[in-house]
Amino acid sequence: MAQKQVIDLFSGLGGWTEAFIEDPTWQVNRYDNNTWLREVPETEIVDLKDYVIATAYKPKLVVASPPCYEFSLAFNAPRAKASRSRQQYYPEEGIELVKRAIQNIQSLNPETWVLENVIGSIPYISELLGEPRQIIGPWVLWGNFPLFNLSRETKKRLKIHKKLEGDKHRHSELRSNHRARIPIELSRNLKLNIDAPSLKEWM
């Protein structure tokens, strides 16, 4: 059986594709610019601001999590600081990275794609992609994908995921990557929905 390809842009610790990499029917290719992440399996270190992904064939899935720092509503994030100082603020670099992700998605033309960011990104990214397709706790999702169907218990676990990840790795060079990591529950649910034979029902 030919492998299905998933491309993970701004992949960080690889959370989006964690469920896929365990399945030999999927080929996983991850791209990030952080050299500290070169040991994450199947990760290529590239600067996606200047790099366009090319593949030999059309990928089945593209996932992307552009950096959320400039969009964040956290107290010490630049948007919150600007608001407290009553200064004009626009997340220029953050939007440029989102645009690069969109350009790559359009160029790759996958069957399914997901672009994820934080709640604070909604007014900015919605100008480019319209309203989010789904919001799951702190994870805001745009794209062409089957809706996530998560149990109440899973949703409870997801609510505390980011805080726990940040607390566990507070002294790590990769603390922000741990906080931003997509939980395995979302990766598994996405894979389950894509692998299901009834996928076309949501298109």
Q: Domains along the chain? A: 4-149+184-202 (3.40.50.150)
pLDDT digits (tens, 9 = 90+) for 53-84: 888 889 999 999 999 887 887 767 777 787 88
Residues 22-52 pLDDT 10s: 999 999 999 999 999 999 999 999 998 888 8
The predicted pLDDT at position 107 comes to 94
The answer on pLDDT for 177 being more than 80 is: no
Q: Which pLDDT score, from 0 to 100, does residue 168 have? A: 59
Q: What local confidence, expressed as pLDDT, does residue 164 receive?
A: 60
What does the pLDDT read at residue 155?
74
Residue with tokens 């160029």: 107
**146: phi then psi, degrees, rounded to nearest 5:** -70, 135
Q: Is 166 a residue whose pLDDT tops 90?
A: no
Q: Is the pLDDT of residue 198 over 70?
A: no
Write out the two tokens for 177.
């990557």
What is the pLDDT at residue 199? Answer: 45
Q: Is the Cβ–Cβ distance between 150 and 141 less than 8 Å?
A: no
How much is the mean pLDDT over the chain? 87
Strands 61-64, 134-136: pairing is unpaired
Q: For the residues 104-130, what does the mean pLDDT come to? A: 96
Q: What does the pLDDT read at residue 81?
A: 84
